[in-house]
Amino acid sequence: PTITEGETFPKDHTCNGKDVSPALSWGPGPEGTLSYAIVFNDVTFKFLHSIIYDIPASVTSLPQGVEAAYEPKEPAGAKQTQNYKGATEFGYTGPCPPTNEHTYELVLYALGVEALPNVSKTSTLKAAEAEIKKHSLGSVKLTGKYKQP
């Protein structure tokens, strides 16, 4: 399943399904792009879910189900922050709103650095997002919705 702009997240990518990250693809970034980062957040709650960063500039897609690890096997070189579940949980955590329909964004950032400075395995989501925004050359958003069945 893929995520379509403005549509409902497929169940596989939510807490009611397999809770695996969606496959994503994009075109090349602006001139000077040295890496990419993807920030996933709940717009309704203004709540960060997960971040993958240090995606090499040569990579323009992610497979479905990126490994839930600080340094996933694919894409090589990428890193993931701790997600909102805690210090031992890394990677994608899908939509799981308590009530009502929520809007979610996957924001792809083109970055002017190969590796984010000041971001490590113990960095918070907010700290990583701030560093991403500091080095951003541009961004695009994919928005979807989800509510509990």
Nearest to 104 by CA among 76, 79, 84: 84
* Domain span at 40: 11-146
Q: Give residue 1's pLDDT.
A: 56
Q: Give residue 102's pLDDT.
A: 97
Rounded to the nearest integer, the mean pLDDT of the chain is 95
Average pLDDT over every residue of 44-62: 96
Confidence band, pLDDT 50/70/90 cuts, at residue 63? very high
Q: Give residue 86's pLDDT.
A: 77
- 130 within domain boundaries: yes
Give the total number of structural domains in the chain: 1
- 15 within domain boundaries: yes
Tell me the CATH number at 120: 3.90.280.10
Q: From CA 69, how far away is CA 8, in angstroms rounded?
A: 26
User: Is 0.85 surpassed by the pTM of this model?
Assistant: yes
- 4 within domain boundaries: no
Nearest to 107 by CA among 71, 58, 140: 140
H/E element, 134? helix 125-134
Q: How many of the other CB atoms lie within 10 Å of CB of 56?
A: 15
4-19 tens-digit pLDDT: 999 999 999 999 999 9
Q: Give residue 37's pLDDT.
A: 99
* Contact in structure between 122 and 96 (CB atoms under 8 Å): no
As a whole-number percent, the residues of the chain with pLDDT over 70 amount to 99
- 129 within domain boundaries: yes
Dihedral in degrees, nearest 10, Cα atoms 38, 42, 44, 45: -120
- 25 within domain boundaries: yes
Average pLDDT over every residue of 46-71: 97
Average pLDDT over every residue of 53-59: 98
Q: Give residue 96's pLDDT.
A: 93
